[in-house]
Structure 1
Amino acid sequence: MDITKAALAALNTAFNTAFNTRLTGTETTYGRVAMTVPSTTRHQAYPKLGEIGPMREWIGERFIERLEKDGFVITNRKFEKTIAVSVDDISDDQIGLFTPIVNDMGQVAAELPDDLVWEQLEKGFTTEHYDGQMFFDTDHPVVGADGSEASVSNFQGGAGAAWYLVDDTRSIKPMIFQDREKPKITPKTNLNDDNVFFQDEFVWGAKRRCAAGFGAWQLIYASRQPLTAQNYAAARAAMTTMHGHRGRKLNLKPKLLIVPGTLEEAGLELLNAERNAAGATNVWKGTATLHVENRLTLI
């Protein structure tokens, strides 16, 4: 291949196509628990999600609920992936060896939200949210119907592999994926570029700016107890009876069960089997959709 401007332009187009094809075609899982929020600044401020009370009978003046935009802040992070290819390899028509690598760059860029969201989810046991409690906690403070403070739990306790019940029927989600700058690949293939002159190599670099954070803790219930019918039933009961701000009955619908790979068999038996271990009808069959997430910690 003759190293001409036209040839390099065609090469960049081919690599860009390979990158974007995999970027848009890669299956991701973060959307099961996270809502995507476009970001226009380095630091994005959010109101205290989930603290909206019920509708009230309109008697007299309106009661205005002001959303304080200082509930919590998520700061965007910057990510990159860069590869270099020898000028000689391009000259010797070795493009076919590197196109799959560029294709894979698109995949890892697409999967970055998965990596960030599921990693952040597991930090919920040790990281505070806007109410001063851990995201998964037994003592989230809410304002009761009479104005006094009450405690609400979204954590069953335990010390084993974590599993999660999620209400995935709402626009608001338990997690947030904050998207500041979508992935793109940039070439440094100008024959006058320093990397060409000094290292005799062409460079392609991908960049993405984004972050993951916690959303509405009310919509997810975590457990480190064994995944048994008894513990599953208790987790469902805790969610379906949960009260929110000013005594509002949240009417949660725990329709998604998320487990790591080590709990896949237990999850399948719990949600798919016709009968339980004792031979009785499995009353929990079909009560939730099972999602096995391989990025979750196994123990």
Structure 2
Amino acid sequence: MIVNNANLQSLRVGFDTTFRNAVSQAPTLRDRVATVVRSSTSETTYGWLRQMSGMREWIGQRQLDGIAEAGYTIRNKHFEKTVEVSRDDIEDDNLGQYAMMFSHLGDAAAAHPEMLVWNLLAAGFDTECWDGQNFFDTDHPITDENGVTTTFSNTGGGTGTPWFLLCTNRTPKPIILQERKPITFDYKDRPTDDNVFFTNTFVYGADWRGNVGFGIPQMAYGSKQALSATSYASARAALQGMTGDGGRPLGLIPNLLVVPPSLESAGRKILNSELGSGGETNEWKGTAELLTVPWLT
């Protein structure tokens, strides 16, 4: 193939199409647990409004609730992956191998935000959220109906393989996926580019800018106890009993049980089986949806 602008543009279009097809076809599960927030600056600070008290009968003047904010900043990070195409391969029409390479580039670009979301969820047992406690912790601070500071727990403890029961039908979801710049395909493929002169290669790359952070801890329960009907029942009761500041019941309905592949069988038995382990009717069948996440281990 003659290396000229017209042929290079044709190659670029082909590489870009292969890349974007791979991005669009890559499996994505992150939207099940993450709220996407578009960011317009290098970092975004979330002034989480602590849960205010509920409605009251209007007698006399309105009662004004104060707002207590807790600043939580998510700083965007820039990620990239870059590949080279040999000028010799273009001249020799030896391009078949590059279809797989650009397909892999698209897979890697699409998978990166996915991995950020699931890695953060898994790290919730030892990573702080906006209230200064680990996201999954036994002593998140909160006030009761009398305004007295108390605590709540959203973890079952344990030392085994982690699993998660979530409420994802409210906003925000347990994880925030902050996106500053969507997945982009760039290139340096002019014959006069320095990379061609010095390394005899044309360069193509993908990049994405953003980061992840935690939402409200009451929306999620993480456990490292063995996944059983008993531990599932405890997690479900904990989420349903969650309150906001002032003791207001949040009315959460857990709807998603997230497990790694190693716990899929246990999750199916709890949520899909007609009978329990002792032959009794399985009272937990259909109480949540099972989501098996290959990025979790």
State the TM-score, normalizing by the size of structure 2.
0.95
Q: Give RMSD over aligned pairs.
A: 1.5
Q: Following the alignment from structure 2 to structure 1, what is the Cα–Cα distance between the partners of residues 52 and 110?
A: 34
| Residue of structure 2 equivalent to 1:48 | 48
SS of equivalent residue, structure 1 residue 170: coil
CA apart distance, 1:241: 1.3
Q: Following the alignment from structure 1 to structure 2, what is the Cα–Cα distance between the partners of residues 264 and 149?
A: 39
Mark the CA change 1:101 to 1:52 in structure 2 (over 3 Å): closer, same or farther. Answer: farther
| Residue of structure 2 equivalent to 1:165 | 165
The percentage of aligned residue pairs carrying the same residue is 44
SS of equivalent residue, structure 1 residue 14: helix
Q: Following the alignment from structure 1 to structure 2, what is the Cα–Cα distance between the partners of residues 57 and 27?
A: 49
Opposite residue 12 of structure 2, the aligned amino acid is N
Mark the CA change 1:52 to 1:101 in structure 2 (over 3 Å): closer, same or farther. Answer: farther
Opposite residue 7 of structure 2, the aligned amino acid is A
| Residue of structure 2 equivalent to 1:235 | 235
Q: How does 1:168-183 map to 2 (within 5 A)?
A: 168-183=168-183
| Residue of structure 2 equivalent to 1:29 | 29
CA apart distance, 1:25: 2.7
SS of equivalent residue, structure 2 residue 181: strand
| Residue of structure 2 equivalent to 1:268 | 268
Aligned residues: 296
Contact 1:50 1:216 in 2 (8 A): no
CA apart distance, 1:80: 0.5
Q: Following the alignment from structure 1 to structure 2, what is the Cα–Cα distance between the partners of residues 72 and 168?
A: 21
| Residue of structure 2 equivalent to 1:184 | 184
Greater CA drift, 173-182 or 15-24: 15-24
CA apart distance, 1:65: 4.7
Structure 2 runs not aligned, ≥5 long: none
Contact 2:156 2:235 in 1 (8 A): yes
SS of equivalent residue, structure 2 residue 48: coil
| Residue of structure 2 equivalent to 1:18 | 18
Q: Following the alignment from structure 1 to structure 2, what is the Cα–Cα distance between the partners of residues 176 and 149?
A: 27
Contact 1:50 1:218 in 2 (8 A): no
Q: How does 1:284-295 map to 2 (within 5 A)?
A: 284-295=284-295
Q: Following the alignment from structure 2 to structure 1, what is the Cα–Cα distance between the partners of residues 229 and 271?
A: 9
Q: Following the alignment from structure 1 to structure 2, what is the Cα–Cα distance between the partners of residues 10 and 178?
A: 34
Q: Following the alignment from structure 2 to structure 1, what is the Cα–Cα distance between the partners of residues 125 and 184?
A: 34
Contact 2:130 2:214 in 1 (8 A): no
| Residue of structure 2 equivalent to 1:61 | 62
Q: Following the alignment from structure 2 to structure 1, what is the Cα–Cα distance between the partners of residues 95 and 148?
A: 68
| Residue of structure 2 equivalent to 1:111 | 111
SS of equivalent residue, structure 1 residue 48: strand
SS of equivalent residue, structure 2 residue 129: coil
Q: Following the alignment from structure 2 to structure 1, what is the Cα–Cα distance between the partners of residues 50 and 223?
A: 21
SS of equivalent residue, structure 2 residue 136: coil
SS of equivalent residue, structure 1 residue 276: coil
Q: Following the alignment from structure 2 to structure 1, what is the Cα–Cα distance between the partners of residues 96 and 220?
A: 46
Contact 2:260 2:292 in 1 (8 A): yes
| Residue of structure 1 equivalent to 2:133 | 133
CA apart distance, 1:23: 1.6
SS of equivalent residue, structure 1 residue 88: helix
**CA displacement 1:1-44 (0-9 Å, x = unmatched):** 11111000111111111112222232211111110000011111
**CA displacement 1:62-107 (0-9 Å, x = unmatched):** 5255473x52000111100000111010111122220221122112
Opposite residue 247 of structure 1, the aligned amino acid is G
| Residue of structure 2 equivalent to 1:143 | 143
State yes or no: 1:208 paired with 2:208. yes
Q: Following the alignment from structure 1 to structure 2, what is the Cα–Cα distance between the partners of residues 95 and 54?
A: 65
State yes or no: 1:39 paired with 2:54. no
Contact 1:163 1:224 in 2 (8 A): yes
Contact 2:185 2:205 in 1 (8 A): yes
Opposite residue 63 of structure 1, the aligned amino acid is L
**CA displacement 1:271-299 (0-9 Å, x = unmatched):** 111111211111111111001112113xx
| Residue of structure 1 equivalent to 2:80 | 80
| Residue of structure 1 equivalent to 2:92 | 92
Mark the CA change 1:289 to 1:49 in structure 2 (over 3 Å): closer, same or farther. Answer: farther
CA apart distance, 1:57: 3.5
Mark the CA change 1:47 to 1:281 in structure 2 (over 3 Å): closer, same or farther. Answer: same
Contact 2:140 2:151 in 1 (8 A): yes
Q: Following the alignment from structure 1 to structure 2, what is the Cα–Cα distance between the partners of residues 51 and 33?
A: 21
